[in-house]
Amino acid sequence: MFKEQIVKDKKTWNEIIEGFRLRDIYFTYNYFVPFQNNGDGKPILYYFECEYGKAAYPFMLRDIAKSENFKGKLEENKYFDISSAYGYGGPLYESYEDDGTILNLKKVFFKSFSDYCYKKNIISQFDRFHPLIKNHLFFEGYSEILPTRKTVYMDLSDKENIWNNIESKCRNMIRKAKKDEVSIVLEDDIKTIENFKYIYNSTMDRNGASEYYYFNGNFFNDTMDSLGENVFIVNAYYENKIIASSLIMRYGKCLHYHFSGVLKEYRKLQSNNLLLYEVAKWGNENGYEKFHLGGGYESEGDSLYKFKKSFSKLEDNDFYIGRKIHNIELYNNLTNIINEVNPDESSFFPEYRK
């Protein structure tokens, strides 16, 4: 016997997530809300329980007909695909016995979820797994699992080690920011979200970011409203002006570097270096154990990864993605439609959304 539950309401969703030993902010209903409002799909939590254990798998359900590629070409509410929300996702899972039952749990979960996808006309599935929880292991043998990059974290358990684990060049930049009288305000006034939005968008302009990263105008307000106490603003000030700003998420014993930006004309002040260091110290003082900084834009060779890596000499975490095609015939048909318009080869998955 098994229990299958399709959860869409906040209360039930969050109660289920709270029932897992390993969990994080990315699995909560509240995290999905801003992305739903951004047009990224409808949040669904697929919950499964049987004699061997339980699994909770949150995802965005997306109507393929509503994508730019297929507007006016497909019937709406007929064909779907699923994806993690921006950030990290995948399943949470626990077996009820210490030995052996995880394989049985995987087997019956995969059968049940595959049946759900077939009935729902879900064509493909894309996952961004959580580097700290390492939940890609549960989907091995089910999806195509691919390592794509490394992510960086800081150990906050010892304040002295926070400093010692920072590279010397980065420590010098922190000292420089202090000498230049840059100051950091943690949990700053919610009204400074407008400053954050301006700084974030100017940073995206400077980096040539793709269109997706210019979220709708209410996105960051939705993020603050939905996550509530689980997110806060940190600002760097110079001569009473906000020159760098970050949204930091907190949940359990972990902090996450969520979104950030710095004004171009003040980059030489190294305010971001001081900002992250002050967040790490604050995390230690408030009982947090890890500060996950994430990875680079694309690889360990880019500037963002190198910046984050300068804060930690610890071994990186591997970031995995998962790809699965549930209906190969329909997947190929949709891809062929797009290839007629855009024949350029692409590694994007699913290919029909390239």
Chain centroid, CA 43 distance in Å: 14
pLDDT above 80 for 131: yes
Distance from C-alpha of 172 to C-alpha of 175, rounded to nearest angstrom: 5
Q: Is the pLDDT of residue 299 over 80?
A: no
Contact 120, 164 (CB under 8 A): no
pLDDT for 345: 83
Query: Residues 198-220: what's their mean pLDDT?
Result: 93
A 10 A CB-CB count for 146 gives 12
Tell me the percentage of the chain whose pLDDT exceeds 90.
90
Give the pLDDT score at 61. Answer: 98
Nearest CA among 328, 343, 317 for reference residue 152: 317
In the chain, what are the helix, strand and coil shares in percent, each to the nearest 5? 40, 30, 30
Q: Give residue 310's pLDDT.
A: 97
Work out the number of other CB atoms within 10 angstroms of the CB of residue 9.
10
pLDDT value for 341: 85
H-helix segments, the chain: 10-18, 29-37, 101-120, 159-164, 168-179, 193-207, 219-227, 271-285, 303-309, 328-341
List, for residues 188-206, the tens digit of each pLDDT value. Answer: 999 999 999 999 999 999 9
Mean predicted lDDT score pLDDT of the chain: 95
Residue 182 CA to residue 211 CA, distance in Å, equals 32
Higher pLDDT, 247 or 69: 247
What is the C-alpha separation between 303 and 282, in angstroms, rounded?
Answer: 26
CB 260, CB 245: distance < 8 Å: yes
For range 10-31, the mean pLDDT:
98
Q: How many percent of the chain have pLDDT more than 70?
A: 99
Among the listed ranges 93-102, 132-141, 274-283, 308-317, which one has the minimum average pLDDT value? 93-102
pLDDT given for residue 346 in this prediction: 83
